[in-house]
Amino acid sequence: MARLPRLSVTDLPHLVLWQGHNRQAVFSDDDDRQAFLALLGDGAAREGVEVHGYALLDAGLWLLVTPRREGVLSRLMQGLGRSYVRRFNARHGRTGTLWEGRYRATVLAPDRVLPALVLLDHEPVRVGLAPSPEAWPWSTHRHYAGIAPLRGVQPPAPWWGLGDTPFAREAAYRQRVHEGLPPAQAQGLREAAIKGWPVGDAAFLAALAAQTGRRTQPARPGRPRKRV
């Protein structure tokens, strides 16, 4: 079966997963991570992509972003791939590819954005890089928790509903991260990013299908029904 084209929708949040080729490391040290973030910030500003969150791991990364113009997410990722690989290969004396062939991404309903941020915060803990979200400096957790502000990170719209003051929003967010996500919800978000199926309720998925002309849910198994 032919692969469906990657879905990208202007003005909706996207959860992005980018992994190293054969799961190899894409960041060797903090200098690599800092360089990637600089390239991400420049590219996002140039293309018109809002960066809401990220989690840089060893063998890959997660992003939570909103493209504000058609086609800009793909251009951002392609540009990042080329520029970062050139720098990484030159710095580490290597050649060849670094990234998996395609980045993975899924479109999120607005009410799934905060759970996606919580997911990103917990990924470094899940893969054994840190004992807690606040212990990992290469995610946006510290920014939203009020520990260390970051330039270039733009809170998604649902963030402002967490409280009337910055202190209240940060406290509410820290509580969400402390509680974490139900395992099924966390796994559902990961699988959605890998497979590319949008995440939202039935009304959101139906509206998205009508807008894009593309299926937003997997087809039921079995042969399609014959039309009468």
Determine the 3-state secondary structure of 145 from DSSP: coil
pLDDT band per the 50, 70, 90 thresholds, residue 163: very high
Q: Where are the domains of the chain?
A: 14-201
Q: Tell me, what's the pLDDT at 214?
A: 84
pLDDT digits (tens, 9 = 90+) for 170-186: 999 999 999 999 999 99
With a cut of 80, say whether residue 111 has pLDDT above it: yes
In terms of pLDDT, which residue wins out, 7 or 66?
66
CATH 3.30.70.1290 for domain 14-201: yes
Please count the other Cβ atoms lying within 10 Å of the Cβ belonging to residue 5.
Answer: 9
Separation between Cα atoms, residue 47 and residue 68, nearest integer Å: 8
Which tokens go with 80? Answer: 């990042």
* pTM passes above 0.85: yes
